């Protein structure tokens, strides 16, 4: 099941985000100046018919997409298997430090020797469709050092996905964004001469990528339940917007003056506030689901009320779990329905516990997210399990279905 439903949101937003990050990657100083050279190597030149140039360029982009899609599938699978491991504080800190170093590299403060890899891509492949495809597959791994930080952003999302397929979709979207400029300029080779030259605008692109990397750093640190992250997530949208505008203006000044330390400070602040906006939580005064402290307590309540029990299994490393919490379980209609019609309980699977293992074995839980509906005796109600993101509207329909099934089983 994909992470969301195209038409509502989280899925579309994540796909567009991956595509946008990919496109920004193609504008970095390590990739952009190499575009004409790359196109000429596999034969997409001005003296080649447009149709052939298009097919050559498409072969190259398909090669990139093949490598990244496979990488996405593998990363998502690893994230599903090692999800609880990835949530351990030491691992979280190690990933955050690694991403921070990539941000420093992107801003030019720290030099990570990746450039030597770039030349290797040009030695693999060659002219013709097969050569273009092969060159694309290798370029997907080693061609562009500046792609590294941006690529890690999408890999982190893939690792947090609840399905292997979704990880592949994210990396495929990223690769299409990265390859779009090659496809367009390879097809219409005359446009290459009209490309703006390398300049300060490329440094702006690097700055934006660094901000995106730093936003991911804060997301990675989220499982540690840091108070400062909770506070920035509660900022009012208006105040956060004002702070973003002011910080962005200061960032522009540091770019003009080429002040590396100033760029790091403004990029970090901008990323911090942006994280708060993206992770904004309603004030505690708003209606909230009354969660029971655990399944056992919920079953006690259900036996006296005759209601179904909803058990939400979640983890901080589960992206779709966060989307359910942020978009569905916060919807006023859903909150009222859960508090009135069922007995809601939740269990944290971020770290392995004996209780989690017992429940997983009892209900044959294969992965997260997982929302179980059980009767007052603790038996799962057939055909009611949810294993992915659902919109508030569909969730309400699902709860109504659960009530009908439970009522029919009792009568």
Using DSSP, state whether 33 is helix, strand or coil: helix
Rounded Cα distance, 67 and 14, in Å? 20
Q: What is the mean pLDDT of the chain?
A: 80
- Range with top average pLDDT, 154-163, 314-323, 326-335: 326-335
Nearest to 331 by CA among 2, 1, 9, 37: 9
Give the Cα-Cα-Cα angle 340, 343, 349 (nearest 5 degrees): 135
- Residue 198 is predicted with a pLDDT of 57
- Range with top average pLDDT, 16-30, 119-133, 169-183, 190-204: 169-183
Higher pLDDT, 336 or 83: 336
Rounded Cα distance, 242 and 247, in Å? 9
Model confidence band, residue 242 (pLDDT cutoffs 50, 70, 90): very high
pTM score over 0.75: no
The percent helix, strand, coil of the chain (3-state, each to 5) is: 70, 5, 25
Q: What is the mean pLDDT of residues 311-325?
A: 82
Model confidence band, residue 161 (pLDDT cutoffs 50, 70, 90): low
Pairing state between β 308-314 and 370-374: antiparallel
Model confidence band, residue 135 (pLDDT cutoffs 50, 70, 90): confident
Stretch among 112-126, 201-215, 217-231, 318-332 having the lowest mean pLDDT: 112-126
- Residue 5 is predicted with a pLDDT of 39
pLDDT in tens, 181-230: 888 888 876 666 666 655 677 788 889 888 988 988 898 787 777 889 88
Higher pLDDT, 13 or 194: 13
Using DSSP, state whether 292 is helix, strand or coil: strand
Model confidence band, residue 246 (pLDDT cutoffs 50, 70, 90): very high
Higher pLDDT, 46 or 25: 25
pLDDT in tens, 255-303: 989 899 999 999 999 999 999 988 776 554 457 899 998 899 999 999 9
The dihedral over CA atoms of 73, 75, 80, 82, expressed in degrees to the nearest 10, equals 150
Higher pLDDT, 151 or 258: 258
DSSP code per residue over 74-97: HHHHHHHHSHHHHTSHHHHHHHHH
pLDDT at 251 over 50: yes
Tell me the two tokens of residue 292.
């029971």
79 near 159, Cβ under 8 Å? Answer: yes
Nearest to 129 by CA among 58, 81, 179: 58
């Amino acid at each position: 099941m994909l992470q969301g439903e195209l038409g509502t949101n989280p899925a579309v937003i994540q796909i567009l985000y991956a595509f946008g990050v990919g496109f920004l990657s193609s504008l970095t100083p390590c990739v952009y100046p190499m575009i004409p050279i790359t196109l000429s190597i596999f034969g997409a030149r001005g003296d080649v018919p447009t149709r052939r140039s298009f097919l050559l360029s498409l072969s190259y982009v398909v090669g990139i997409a093949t490598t990244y899609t496979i990488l996405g599938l593998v990363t998502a699978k690893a994230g599903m298997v090692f999800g609880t491991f990835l949530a351990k504080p030491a691992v979280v800190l190690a990933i955050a430090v690694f991403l921070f170093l990539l941000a420093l590299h992107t801003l030019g403060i720290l030099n990570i020797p990746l450039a030597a890899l770039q030349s290797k891509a040009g030695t693999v492949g060659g002219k013709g469709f097969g050569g273009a495809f092969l060159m694309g597959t290798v370029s997907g791994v080693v061609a562009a050092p500046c792609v590294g930080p941006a690529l890690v952003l999408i890999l982190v999302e893939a690792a947090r996905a609840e399905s292997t397929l979704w990880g592949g979709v994210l990396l495929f979207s990223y690769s299409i964004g990265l390859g779009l400029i090659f496809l367009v300029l390879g097809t219409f080779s005359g446009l290459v001469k009209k490309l703006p030259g390398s300049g300060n605008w490329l440094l702006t692109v690097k700055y934006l990528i660094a901000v995106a990397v730093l936003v991911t750093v804060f997301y990675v640190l989220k499982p540690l339940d840091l108070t400062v992250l909770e506070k920035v997530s509660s900022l009012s949208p208006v105040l956060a917007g004002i702070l973003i505008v002011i910080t962005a203006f200061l960032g522009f000044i540091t770019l003009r003056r080429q002040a590396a330390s100033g760029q790091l400070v403004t990029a970090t602040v901008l990323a911090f506030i942006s994280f708060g906006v993206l992770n904004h939580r309603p004030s505690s005064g708003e209606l909230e689901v009354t969660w029971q402290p655990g399944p056992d307590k919920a079953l006690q309540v259900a036996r006296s009320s005759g209601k179904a029990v909803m058990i939400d299994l979640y983890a901080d490393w589960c992206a779709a779990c966060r989307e359910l919490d942020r978009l569905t379980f916060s919807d006023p209609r859903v909150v009222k329905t859960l508090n009135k019609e069922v007995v809601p309980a939740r269990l944290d699977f971020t770290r392995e516990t004996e209780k989690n293992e017992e429940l997983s074995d009892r209900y044959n839980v294969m992965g997260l997210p997982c929302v179980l509906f059980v009767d007052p005796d603790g038996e799962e109600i057939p055909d009611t399990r949810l294993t992915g993101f659902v919109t508030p509207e569909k969730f309400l329909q699902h709860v109504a279905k659960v009530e009908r099934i439970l009522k029919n089983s009792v009568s």
